[in-house]
């Protein structure tokens, strides 16, 4: 029997990531369908998945557009959700190869799932860079292809309201939120976010309630 290799083989990393890849693919298809239902041009839907590569942020931006909100509000909602990538980017920076510029480019492959896999593959505080890159590249591929298939399927499905697709957004937000409510701090942030958003909504332009919720979330987090 040969000694265990110090580096996990590409094959093993891909095998470990394949169940996640299926989930990301299905999420991509549903994102494409919903984006077409929200009247985004098909090319922009696929371009968004290719350039943003962040399911929850894209979903949030789309939810704002589908509910009649403006572009700036949609960008704000998505970008604020992506602020957590500043934290994961710092965590993985030391594990990536190359100079600053290459590392900044490679860090674009970090999403929640690839970061979680790399954190699990490495020792505490030192995520495994190869796992992040291989898992991230696989998930990037299925995310973009899934979105493309969804964008092609979208127009075939028919009237979005009759299919309940407008209700898919708040249902999806709740499904993304629920697993995060593990501790008292997260619950406190969520409750305060709702309170601030509802207090601001009647008296401020769209976008301000979300910004207020973000600020109170940052304020209360620990």
Binders of another protein among 65-124, rule CB under 8 A?
Answer: 65, 67, 71-72, 74-75, 77-93, 96, 100, 103-105, 107-108, 110
* Residue from the set 18, 97, 161, 205 that interacts with another protein by CB under 8 A: 161
At its nearest, how many Å lie between another protein and the CB of residue 120?
Answer: 18
* Residue from the set 15, 23, 97, 205 that interacts with another protein by CB under 8 A: 23
| Six-digit token string for 79 | 């970008």
Q: Among candidates 113, 115, 67, which has minimal Cα distance to 89?
A: 115
| Size of interface with another protein, in residues (CB under 8 A) | 101
Q: What are phi and psi of 217, to 5 degrees?
A: -65, -45
- In this complex, which beta carbon is closest to another protein, that of residue 5 or of residue 179? 179
Chain length of the chain: 222
Q: CA neighbours within 13 Å on the CB side: how many for 68?
A: 1
Helix (H) / strand (E) element for 114: namely helix 112-121
- In this complex, which beta carbon is closest to another protein, that of residue 12 or of residue 187? 187
* Residue from the set 9, 120, 185, 205 that interacts with another protein by CB under 8 A: 185
In Å, how far are 68, 111, 144, 163, 165 from 117, measured between CA atoms? 37, 10, 20, 35, 32
* Residue from the set 13, 119, 134, 216 that interacts with another protein by CB under 8 A: 216
CB count within 10 Å of CB 141 equals 14
- In this complex, which beta carbon is closest to another protein, that of residue 15 or of residue 50? 50
Q: Which of residues 119-158 bind another protein (CB under 8 A)?
A: none
Q: Which of residues 31-60 bind another protein (CB under 8 A)?
A: 38-41, 44, 47-48, 51-54, 56-58, 60
Q: By CB under 8 A, is residue 172 in contact with another protein?
A: yes
| Six-digit token string for 147 | 């979105």
- In this complex, which beta carbon is closest to another protein, that of residue 5 or of residue 164? 164
Q: How many Å apart are CA 24 and CA 141, to the nearest integer?
A: 10
């Amino acid at each position: 029997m040969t000694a265990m290799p110090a580096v996990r083989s590409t094959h093993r990393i891909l095998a470990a990531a394949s169940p996640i890849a299926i989930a990301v693919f299905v999420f991509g298809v549903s994102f494409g369908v919903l984006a077409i239902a929200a009247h985004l041009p098909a090319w922009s839907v696929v371009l968004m998945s290719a350039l943003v590569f962040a399911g929850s942020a894209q979903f949030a931006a789309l939810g704002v557009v589908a509910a009649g909100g403006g572009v700036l509000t949609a960008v704000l909602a998505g970008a604020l959700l992506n602020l957590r990538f500043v934290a994961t980017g710092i965590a993985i920076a030391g594990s990536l190869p190359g100079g600053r510029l290459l590392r900044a480019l490679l860090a674009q492959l970090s999403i929640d799932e690839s970061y979680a896999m790399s954190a699990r593959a490495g020792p505490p505080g030192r995520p495994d860079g190869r796992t992040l890159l291989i898992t991230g590249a696989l998930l990037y591929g299925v995310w973009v292809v899934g979105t493309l298939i969804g964008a092609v399927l979208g127009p075939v499905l028919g009237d979005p309201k009759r299919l309940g697709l407008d209700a898919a957004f708040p249902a999806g937000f709740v499904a993304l939120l629920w697993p995060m409510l593990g501790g008292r701090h997260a619950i406190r942030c969520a409750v305060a976010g709702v309170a601030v958003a509802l207090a601001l909504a009647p008296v401020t332009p769209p976008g301000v309630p979300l910004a207020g919720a973000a600020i109170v979330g940052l304020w209360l987090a620990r």
